[in-house]
């Protein structure tokens, strides 16, 4: 990304608990929000032209799996989008079996299931139910992974 020109500058909003204010600059650790026209994802770095090299963020293999489905079948696509967005944030790994409509969510710790369920309910307004899934590793598994 190139340095913003005076005509392309956007307003940076610094946010803290119950308070939002306009800011001319932001520093590491600040929570900021601003409109951006280029595609960006969670974890992207914005610079004024410096070349940055990251070693990467570690990714852990999920140890626990659960099937997740919406309580209302008409909300299945919404649940899928919510799970994809949460997986993009790194909150969990999701898998979609080729056969069947349930998603499979993989996490490292069991508390993550509760956090995901609460976020899906509060942020996406989707009620869902889940069941633990017995997992064995087999060659040629029929699930596709999304990260």
Assign residue 51 a region (left: φ > 0; alpha: ψ between -120 and 50; beta: otherwise): beta
What tens-digit pLDDT sequence spans the chain (147 residues)? 444 444 444 455 554 455 667 777 778 777 777 666 667 766 677 777 888 887 877 778 999 999 999 999 899 999 999 999 999 888 899 999 888 778 999 999 999 999 999 999 999 999 988 877 654 444 454 455 555
Contacts of residue 16, Cβ cutoff 8 Å, sequence gap at least 6: 31
CATH topology of domain 64-146: Alpha-Beta Plaits (3.30.70)
Prediction pTM value: 0.60
Give the start-to-end residue ranges of the domains of the chain: 1-57, 64-146
Of the chain, the end-to-end C-alpha distance in Å amounts to: 24
What integer pLDDT is reported at residue 35 of this predicted model? 64
């Amino acid at each position: 990304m190139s340095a913003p020109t005076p005509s392309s500058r956007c307003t940076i909003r610094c946010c803290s608990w119950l308070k939002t204010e306009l800011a001319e600059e932001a520093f590491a650790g600040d929570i900021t929000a601003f409109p951006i026209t280029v595609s960006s994802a969670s974890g992207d770095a914005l610079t004024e032209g410096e070349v940055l090299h990251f070693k990467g963020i570690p990714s852990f293999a999920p140890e626990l799996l659960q099937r997740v489905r919406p309580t209302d079948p008409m909300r299945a696509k919404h649940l899928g989008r919510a799970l994809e967005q949460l997986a993009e944030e790194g909150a969990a790994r999701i898998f979609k079996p080729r056969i069947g409509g349930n998603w499979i969510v993989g996490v490292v710790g069991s508390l993550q299931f509760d956090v995901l369920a609460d976020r899906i309910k509060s942020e996406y307004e989707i009620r869902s139910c889940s069941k633990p899934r017995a997992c064995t590793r087999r060659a040629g598994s029929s699930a596709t992974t999304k990260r």
